[in-house]
Amino acid sequence: MSSYVEPDFPSWDESKGTFKLEPNSDFVPEVRRRLQAKGLGPESTIVLICRSGDRSAAAANLLAEAGLKNVYSVVDGYEGDLAADGPKAGQRAVNGWKNAGLPWSYKLDKSKMYKVEK
């Protein structure tokens, strides 16, 4: 999996309480390399997902601008939005893949993992 953004470890975002995320300049070339390695091209279907849907939507737009034709982002992402109130206020309990009851697991299946060898 190539990441659209990567943490910029020296730069802290005080307002978000986390490291700033910077665009990965190798994202589009890496996606193209991975497609080619699998015998796929710019017409192939690509589905992107992130935690809330924001980064995957931006990444889908970037790939579409780069000429990839069938790029989709999972709306609301994997965990969805933060609940504004109620017993789950502040938790990612609104919408998203996981909250829709779709299949998920935090357990990784090594046979399904893909790692870029450098």
H or E element in which residue 93 lies:
strand 92-94
Confidence tier at 116 by pLDDT (50, 70, 90): very low
DSSP-based three-state secondary structure for 112: helix
Domain ranges, ordered by start, for the chain: 5-102
Cα torsion through 92, 109, 3, 28, rounded to 10: -130
Measured between alpha carbons, how far is 19 from 10 in angstroms, rounded to an integer? Answer: 8
Q: What is the mean pLDDT of residues 2-31?
A: 75
Q: What is the chain's alpha carbon radius of gyration, rounded to the nearest angstrom?
A: 16
Q: Which CATH superfamily is domain 5-102 in?
A: Rhodanese-like domain (3.40.250.10)
pLDDT digits (tens, 9 = 90+) for 40-63: 999 999 999 998 899 899 999 999
Q: What is the mean pLDDT of residues 63-85?
A: 94
Structural contact between residues 17 and 37, judged by C-beta atoms closer than 8 angstroms: no
pTM: predicted TM-score of the whole model, two decimal places: 0.74
